[in-house]
Amino acid sequence: MRAKAREAAKAAPRGEPTPPREPGEGRQKTRQGVVVSDKADKTITVQIDVARRHRRYEKVVRSSTTFHAHDEKNDAHIGDTVIIRESRPLSRLKRWRLVEVVERAK
């Protein structure tokens, strides 16, 4: 029975191989936050605040996360609202890069 199954598998026409995965632009995550530090060269620290409602108690729970992002032109400064996009690891902490400065600090 095994021999018959092997012969049938060899005789069956094979489909096209799976194409390689292409790096798509739509895959990276984007976040909007406020710059809290720009002291390092070509690096900004972005704080992202999230407010969500607790599933059971319905109370608004606020949390924040900080990300280190690559700023090639040292364009963003403290207080600016920016959009960052996920990228390959650039250093030990930097996994994001600056896309644009949405609003300048006053």
Q: pLDDT for 64-74, tens place per residue?
A: 999 999 999 99
What's the mean per-residue pLDDT of the chain? 90
Cα separation, 49 vs 94, whole angstroms: 19
Q: What CA–CA distance (Å, rounded) separates 59 from 33?
A: 23
Residue of 18, 79, 73 whose CA lies nearest to 45: 79
User: What structural domains and CATH numbers belong to the chain?
Assistant: 28-103 (2.40.50.140)
DSSP state string for 28-97: S-EEEEEEEE--STTEEEEEEEEEEE-TTT--EEEEEEEEEEE-TT----TT-EEEEEE-S--SSSEEEE
68-91 confidence digits (pLDDT tens)? 999 999 999 999 999 999 999 999
